[in-house]
């Protein structure tokens, strides 16, 4: 496994590998089983002859809260061990000084899908995401890139960016990996106290309870949201706060008047300073 930290080193080490497929798994590190599932998919997609690249970069452009950026975990040594074990060929872990030019001034903006959910509650977040992801695609020159549905809106936005800017990369989405109690794996989970960690599965339980309504043919948006909200608000810890709870169409993340197509129910919530997100897709027309 090669570990490189500059674009020049990356291009040099990939120059002799361009005859076979290159797959990229972009991450911010603090790797967990969710990331490792993406990495396994990347390995399978690149094939034995191909190259699997994992990027580890805590991208300052996509953080809207200084506290979140400063406290984001960075266990690089352990991450490199995990990558080695998972059969990664190249790890790209730039520092933010050498990743962005000091006078970096070009950004990528998506202007429809980012109006809701994290786009609405984290100003500038998706400009940062699109900019870093497009830059990584260009630097790596990947044929494939693997993304998790855990960051559902991110996946939709990147799909739109790739389509609208005619990028040749093929995106591969992967389902959310969860703990046994349903909590979606996240690098931020390790910042939760024991009490908060024990409480955190309420996010998934709320989504699941609401999605079960689909089996009754329920079409009222409010009824889905009320069911989820009642689980979220049942005896929460004092520092628990809902950031958003929204039900949107899966195709273009707009608000449906009735739940009569594939939709996504998405939630974001704070435990003190730690913000968690989760989502669940379902289609009532197929659930009965």
Q: In the bound complex, what is the minimum distance in angstroms from residue 147's beta carbon to ligand AMP?
A: 4
State yes or no: residue 287 binds ligand AMP (CB under 6 A): no
232 close to 203: Cβ distance less than 8 angstroms: yes
Nearer to ligand AMP, 51 or 55 (CB): 55
Choice from 4, 22, 23, 35 touching ligand AMP (CB under 6 A): 35
- The reply on whether position 36 binds ligand AMP by CB under 6 A is no
Least Å distance between CB 288 and ligand AMP?
28
In the bound state, the residue with its beta carbon closest to ligand AMP is 148
Between residues 135 and 284, which has the closer beta carbon with respect to ligand AMP?
Answer: 135
32 is catalytic: no
Distance CA 213, CA 222 (A): 12
Is residue 79 involved in binding ligand AMP (CB under 6 A)? no
Site string for ligand AMP, 1-30 (x = CB under 6 A): --------------------------xx--
Rounded least distance, CB 223 to ligand AMP, Å: 28
Are 8 and 98 a contacting pair, CB within 8 Å?
Answer: no
Of 34 and 119, nearer to ligand AMP (C-beta) is 34
From 32, 35, 104, 167, active-site residue: 35
Question: Which pairing describes strands 22-27 and 274-282: parallel, antiparallel, or unpaired?
Answer: unpaired
Distance CA 273, CA 165 (A): 36
Asked if residues 47 and 21 have their Cβ atoms less than 8 Å apart, the reply is: yes
The verdict on 186 binding ligand AMP (CB under 6 A) reads: yes
Per-residue mark of binding to ligand AMP, 139-158 (x: CB under 6 A): --------xx-xx-------
Q: How far apart are CA 91 and CA 35, in angstroms?
A: 14
State the pairing for strand pair 90-92/144-148. Answer: unpaired
- Residues of the shown chain interacting with ligand AMP in the complex, contacts defined by CB under 6 A: 27-28, 34-35, 37-38, 147-148, 150-151, 174, 176-177, 184-187
């Amino acid at each position: 496994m090669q570990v490189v930290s500059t674009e020049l080193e990356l291009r040099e080490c990939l120059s002799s590998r361009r005859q076979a497929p290159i797959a990229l798994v972009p991450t911010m590190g603090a790797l967990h089983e969710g990331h490792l599932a993406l990495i396994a998919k990347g390995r399978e997609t690149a094939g034995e002859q191909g190259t699997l690249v994992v990027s580890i970069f805590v991208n300052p452009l996509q953080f809207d809260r200084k506290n979140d950026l400063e406290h984001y975990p960075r266990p690089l040594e352990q991450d490199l061990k995990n990558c080695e074990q998972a059969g990664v060929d190249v790890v790209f872990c730039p520092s933010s000084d050498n990743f962005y030019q000091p006078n970096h001034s070009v950004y990528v903006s998506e202007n429809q899908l980012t109006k809701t959910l994290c786009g609405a509650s984290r100003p500038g977040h998706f400009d940062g995401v699109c900019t870093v992801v497009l830059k990584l695609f260009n630097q790596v020159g990947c044929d494939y890139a693997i993304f998790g549905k855990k960051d559902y809106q991110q996946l939709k936005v990147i799909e739109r960016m790739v389509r609208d800017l005619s990028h040749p990369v093929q995106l591969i989405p992967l389902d959310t990996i969860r703990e046994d109690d349903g909590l979606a794996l996240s690098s931020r989970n390790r910042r939760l106290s024991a009490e908060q960690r024990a409480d955190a599965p309420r996010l998934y339980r709320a989504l699941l309870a609401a999605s079960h309504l689909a089996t009754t043919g329920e079409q009222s948006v409010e009824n889905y949201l009320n069911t989820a909200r009642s689980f979220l608000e049942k005896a929460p810890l004092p520092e628990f706060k809902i950031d958003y709870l929204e039900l949107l169409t899966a195709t273009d993340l707009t608000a449906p008047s009735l739940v009569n197509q594939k939709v996504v129910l998405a939630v974001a919530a704070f435990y003190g300073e730690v913000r968690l997100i989760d989502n669940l897709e379902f289609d009532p027309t197929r659930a009965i």
